[in-house]
């Protein structure tokens, strides 16, 4: 189902353009699909070192985001997504760069299998990237929001920071919570993608790939 969604995303990549590429197992399927059309691409901007490595191995040029004027599309997976196309991302720890590349892209195409579609976000622990010296302070502040933050021990992000995963949240107002968490000193980014959610969801299901668009 992940592979089928990834394959369907190729239709959203304009020919002879740059493409933003996410991280994770579904994004890896998309990278493999890009390999088949690499002669039609200018190159890619990757949201993680791991994805950059995979793209380079396939001979796809990887550019720094700062050297790119515009990005027509960004394709990435999600840990959870609603029918309004708000997401939790960051299961793989790449949330900050994913958010930055997504912010530049004109269109965000989310590729996911049907298990990722939820009515309410929050069963999947919400990742928060934190400056290391702020870890305990941020954890105390997150407790006040009603969830249980847990340090993802042993994980250092591509930006040299740590991750706190917030368990047991029922996120009824994702835009508000995204904004609130961003206000805590020491937070770099959080895994709620609600202010800038996806524009299109390609959902791999047992009955084929369903397309949902943001209204």
Alpha helices in the chain, H assignment, sequence order: 2-9, 25-36, 49-57, 95-104, 135-144, 174-182
> What is the smallest separation between the CB atom of 40 and ligand 5RP, expressed in angstroms?
24
Residues 46, 138: Cα–Cα separation, whole Å: 28
Residue 13 vs 29, nearer CB to ligand 5RP = 29
> What is the smallest separation between the CB atom of 120 and ligand 5RP, expressed in angstroms?
18
Strands 80-81 and 87-88: antiparallel
Greatest alpha-carbon pair distance for the chain in Å reads 51
Beta partners for residue 18, in sequence order? 43
Closest CA to 89 of 126, 129, 117: 126
Q: Which of 33, 80, 98, 129 is catalytic?
A: 98
Residue 101 vs 134, nearer CB to ligand 5RP = 101
> What is the smallest separation between the CB atom of 112 and ligand 5RP, expressed in angstroms?
7
Binding site for ligand 5RP (CB under 6 A): 22-26, 76-79, 89-95, 98
Residue 92 vs 125, nearer CB to ligand 5RP = 92
**141 part of the active site:** no
Active site (catalytic) residues = 98
């Amino acid at each position: 189902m992940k592979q089928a969604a990834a394959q369907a995303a190729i239709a959203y990549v304009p020919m002879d353009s740059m493409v933003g590429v996410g991280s994770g197992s579904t994004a890896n399927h998309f990278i493999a699909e890009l390999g088949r059309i690499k002669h039609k691409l200018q190159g890619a901007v990757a949201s993680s070192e791991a994805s950059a490595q995979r793209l380079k191995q396939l001979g796809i040029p990887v550019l720094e985001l700062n050297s790119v004027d515009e990005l027509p599309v960004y394709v990435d997976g999600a840990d959870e997504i609603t029918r309004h196309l708000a997401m939790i991302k960051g299961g793989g720890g790449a949330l900050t760069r994913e958010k930055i590349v997504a912010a530049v892209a004109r269109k965000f195409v989310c590729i996911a299998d049907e298990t990722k579609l939820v009515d309410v976000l929050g069963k999947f622990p919400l990742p928060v990237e934190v400056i290391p010296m702020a870890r305990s302070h941020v954890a105390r502040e997150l407790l006040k929001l009603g969830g249980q933050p847990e340090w993802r021990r042993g994980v250092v992000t591509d930006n040299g920071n740590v991750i706190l995963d917030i368990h047991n949240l029922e996120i009824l107002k994702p835009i508000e919570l995204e904004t609130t968490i961003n206000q805590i000193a020491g937070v770099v980014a959080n895994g709620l993608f609600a202010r800038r959610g996806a524009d299109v969801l390609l959902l791999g299901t047992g009955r084929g790939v369903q397309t949902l668009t943001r209204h």
